[in-house]
Structure 1
Amino acid sequence: MTTNPLSRKFLFLILVIAISIPIAVIAFMAISRPVEGVLSGLSVTIYKPPQCPCCSEYAGYLSSLGARVEIAAIDDIDGLMDRLGVPQDLRSCHISIVEGYIVVGHVPADAIKKLLSERPNIKGISLPGMPPGSPGMPGAREKPFAIYSFNGSINLFLII
């Protein structure tokens, strides 16, 4: 009895697809969610207005990545930003202190990791405003996030 070469090719194709689909699904799941523990051991203090829910969501995001987060509710967030020297154009709803650096707004963990690995001579970094889809903010991401550094001048730090 002879076998049809087309049926062999068809079976081989089915086998390749059957193996490839689970691998693709696992790879997609791995890159589409934050990796737990990427901020393990990091202590973060977040200063936020008392009634701001997105700031609490951001704290949860950092905690889910392994950071130890302390939240301090303050009524005068702008006054704190003035005292810390955060430029008007870089402000957001909350401010975090991370190993002596100022982190303003809903900054993704990748930017914080870059900041701490490079340790530049700056006051801090900011994701200005409250962009949709940023950590802790609802909605879909509309464009890449531009993270700025500041230390008397404002410079582009990272685009994510």
Structure 2
Amino acid sequence: MISNITTLPRRLSGVLLALSAGFAGAQQATAEEMTVYKSPTCGCCKVWVDHVKAAGFDVTVHETRDVSPVKQQAGLAPQLASCHTAFVNGYLIEGHVPAADIQRLLQEKPDALGLSVPGMPAGENVPGMEVPGVRAKFDVLLVSKDGGAAPYSHYE
């Protein structure tokens, strides 16, 4: 009887270890693949890439001196442009879009080109453009396939 009591914690820890390994494997299997086009010298783009990686995206980065052709080929209107362009599951992600909005987009699957944070707003709430003590007021826009855009999320 005593041996059963002493082996129970070991058995339980083994079961918990197996469950956690299975959960970690399931998380890895569901990681969304994202391709990012950015300038090799842009530090804010690198920080944004780190942000989406930390959120679980599997990111491949292509560094290019001129990202404009990528934006044009994707059909992004110039007024919606920012410094980097990404693609995930057929959607365009332009600029410093928070990972939570990308995850929401992938869950909702709207019929759209993708998401954009035009320009480069700066504040502690803008991934990749963090400025401690400053909160930026900005919108994440849902970009339609015809080039229009509408608010998707608002941050202050």
Gapped regions of structure 1 (runs ≥ 5): 1-36
Larger Rg, first or second structure (1 or 2):
1
Q: How many residues are aligned here?
A: 121
1:142 aligns with 2:131: no
**Structure 2, unaligned stretches of length 5 or more?**
1-26
State the 1:67 CA deviation: 1.4
Deviant stretches of 4+, over 4 Å: none
Amino acid at match of 2:140: I
Correspondence list, 1:115-126, <5 A: 115-126=105-116
Write out aligned runs for 1:5-24 (5 A): none
C-alpha RMSD of the superposition: 1.5
| C-alpha contact 1:50 1:73 (8 A) present in aligned 2 | yes
Identity score, percent: 34
How big is each residue's C-alpha offset from its partner over 1:63-107, in whole Å with a ceiling of 9 and x where there is no partner?
A: 112211111001221121111111111100000101110000010
Residue pair 1:131, 1:141 contacting (<8 A) in 2 also? no
CA displacement 1:113-158 (0-9 Å, x = unmatched)? 1111110111111011111121011312222x31112221222222
> Tell me, what secondary structure is at the counterpart of 1:96?
strand
AA aligned opposite 1:158: S
TM-score, with length taken from structure 2: 0.72
User: Partner of 1:136: helix, strand, or coil?
Assistant: coil
